[in-house]
Structure 1
Amino acid sequence: MRRFLPASRAGRALTVGAALLSAGAALAPAGSAAASTVPASRHTVDYVALGDSYASAPLVPTQVDATCLRSDSNYASLVARSRSASLTDVTCSGATTADMTASQTEGVPAQLDALNRGTDLVTITIGGNDIGFSTVLGTCAQLTSADPTGSPCRTHFAGSGDDQITQAVADTGPKVAKVLRSIHRRAPHARVVVVGYPDLFPDDGVGCTSKTVPLAMGDFAWLRDKEKELNSMLARQARHGGAQYVNTYTPTVGHDLCKPSGERWIETFAPETPAAPVHPNATGESAMAGAVKAALARHGRH
């Protein structure tokens, strides 16, 4: 996640990830990083949830894992309850594609270890940390004061003509493809669902001026486009990798971090409701769950 941050800024950049972990250490209950599970009955669907913080829902009540900042109201938990599924939730804040097959940190096993031949349903949200999006946002916030009405972040990352974030998304594609192949090998009978990222920034590209959203006005449209590139890559990899893609962006348009409290499903850099900075709050996770449930119902299996 540090690959895009200049060394001269590394010690002082405001990163969303750092704020997330700091807040989580204070608010999450003590406990291990063991998978969260919902007890199975004889005929329930065996459901495994994989992914990063947009799947784990850091700081959203109630937190059930202090290490991974995992909520029992994340989209996977809501989907599982609606379908009476047996859920093994190994989602973990900060996860990258590498953490699917290797331990993320002490006490956090490789997420794919939760899969087996009896797994019926898998959901996964991944890729944002591979492109260093939290660090990108931190860098954008640092650059804003120098040109608040311009686009200093876009200039920083794409001013040379080669957009570093576009390249990072392209580089992440094969990693996602490899993860999907590994899921199919370990859970050959499972329905695999790639869940995209919700609408973080105003879809019309018009930004907002606020101490809690320290971004330059000209950078909102660029950041929106980078998220859309990430989601498009995930949809493409799902299509080619024998998985279903769930679009959570469209159902959350109009509820981005610029919207007022009560309409906002994505929190600002300084959240007013329990959630990590620039992450879904409880309503946002519920909206993501709704998109997943609708997609599962349309296809009728599991």
Structure 2
Amino acid sequence: MRNTRLLTAVVSAAILLATTGTAASAAPRIGHYVALGDSYTSGPFIPAQRTDPLGCGRSTANYPSVLADALRVGDFDDVSCAGADTTNMTRPQSVPFNGTNPPQLGALRIDTDLVTLGIGGNDFGVFGGIVGTCPGLRKADPTGSPCEEHFTTNGVNTVKTAIGNVVPRVEAVLAAVHERSPGARVLVVGYPRIAPPSGYCPDVLPFADGDYAWLNEVEQELNQALSDAVDADGKATYVDTFGPSRGHDACARGGSAWINGQDQNIFVAAAYHPLKAGMAGIAAVVLKQAR
């Protein structure tokens, strides 16, 4: 019940910001909004799940949907899809249950007003490699940094190297967005914090103690890569969700968490992914920038 009240308050505040006050009242209505991105945009397992296709894990309560309602968008296309990387902006993506998500940029139009883009974490297997490897290494070295060591070769952090290669890919996506929708405002949405800045919660986030700081570093590197791509593009705007999500990581107690922990719950959220409250929180951050 407390979680429900918190979520309702966050969503209500977001909608209030968009629909009241002098600045909001004077803001033009968004005619066409397109949401592009991966699972941190689509919201797998957050009710209610759309079926177009089901394998994309696209929720009607993800941050694009909350944002579209708050901005009173006339025409809204959410084509985000779990597992997507930058290549799926221009190529179709095969998804579970024999489905296919068309190239996401195909949703853009010449009259598109607003585009949000949340992408990059799946490129070069960055996110999947970390969550698929790190939890299994904790048992052998619970107080050390076994995951960081695993991804370090000859003194080189291979994950951070891979993240550096994300920058030109995101730049290329942004160039394609501007070409298809030259009048659109483009917001590149960063990734929210998964691990706390200090402390541990191995029952929820089963990383070795020393890998918590490393996970934060990796996320900061990824978000910096997105910010760098935006700077190089010169037209889009970067939206930081890492900073605003401090205190809302997977370890947060009392219904404050924006991120689910290790427990997959097909009626709540995917493991290591945003909860419904997290989507509402991210929507409020993006809404502030969109206004």
> Partner residue of 1:84?
72
Deviation at residue 250 of structure 1 after TM alignment = 1.3
Aligned residue in 2 for 1:19: none
Using the TM superposition, give the Cα deviation of residue 78 of structure 1 relative to its aligned residue in structure 2, in angstroms: 0.6
Give the corresponding residue for 1:180: 174
Deviation at 1:58, TM superposition (A): 0.7
Among 113, 129, 143, which residue is 2:137 paired with?
A: 143
Q: Structure 1 residue 271: deviation in Å?
A: 4.7
Residue 215 (structure 1) aligned to one of 179, 193, 207: 207
d(CA) in 2 for partners of 1:107, 1:216: 37
Q: Displacement of 1:107 after TM fit?
A: 2.6
Matched, 1:48 2:34: yes
d(CA) in 1 for partners of 2:141, 2:248: 26
- Superposed, 1:132-211 pairs within 5 Å as 132=125, 133-158=127-152, 160-204=154-198, 206-210=199-203
| 2:63 match | 75
Q: What corresponds to 2:269 in structure 1?
A: 275
Residue identity matched to 1:109: P
Report the secondary structure of 2:64's partner residue.
helix
Structure 1 CA distance for aligned equivalents of residues 31 and 139 of structure 2: 51
C-alpha contact 2:35 2:116 (8 A) present in aligned 1? yes
Q: CA deviation at 1:238?
A: 1.2
TM-score normalized by structure 1? Answer: 0.81
C-alpha offsets along residues 113-164 of structure 1, whole Å, 9 cap, x if unaligned? 0011111110010000014212222111121111111110011112531000
Counterpart of 2:89 in structure 1 is 100
Q: Tell me, which stretches of 5 or more residues in structure 2 are unaligned?
A: 1-28
Question: Counterpart of 2:69 in structure 1: which amino acid?
Answer: R
Q: Deviations over 1:60-116 (max 9, x none)?
A: 111113121100111101111011112100000000000000001153110000011
- Aligned 8 A contact 1:56 1:91 in 2: yes
Superposed CA RMSD in Å reads 1.4
Any conservation in 1 of the 2:142–2:209 contact (CA below 8 Å)? yes
- Classify the secondary structure of the residue corresponding to 2:77: strand
SS state at 2:93 partner: coil
Q: Which residue is 2:228 aligned to?
A: 236
Counterpart residue identity of residue 100, structure 2: G
Residue equivalent to 2:251: 258
Looking at structure 1, the residues matched to 131 and 46 of structure 2 have their Cα atoms a distance apart, in angstroms, of 21
1:107-122 alignment, distance < 5 Å? 107-122=100-115
Q: Which runs of 5+ in 1 are unaligned?
A: 1-42, 298-302
Shift of 1:177: 0.6
- Residue aligned with 1:71, SS: coil
Other structure's SS at 1:251 match: coil
Q: Distance in 2 between matches of 1:284 and 1:271?
A: 16
Count the aligned residue pairs. Answer: 253
For 1:121 and 1:44, locate their aligned partners in 2 and report how far apart those are by CA, in whole Å.
Answer: 7
Identity of aligned residues (%): 43
**Matches of 1:261 and 1:138, distance apart in 2:** 27
- Provide the rounded CA distance (Å) in 2 between the counterparts of 1:117 and 1:199: 34
Instruction: Pick 1 or 2: higher relative contact order, CA cutoff 8 A, min separation 6.
Output: 2
Tell me how far apart the structure 1 counterparts of residues 254 and 136 of structure 2 sit (CA, whole Å).
Answer: 24
Which AA in structure 2 matches 1:222? W
Say which SS state the counterpart of residue 123 (structure 2) adopts.
coil
Q: CA deviation at 1:209?
A: 2.6
Does 2:290 match 1:296?
A: yes
Query: Matched residue of 1:70: which SS?
Result: coil
The answer as to whether partners of 1:123 and 1:194 remain within 8 angstroms in 2 is yes
> Is contact 1:207-1:218 (8 Å) kept?
no
Q: State the alpha-carbon separation in 1 of the partners of residues 165 and 63 from structure 2.
A: 27
**Structure 2: how far apart are the matches of 1:61 and 1:137?**
23
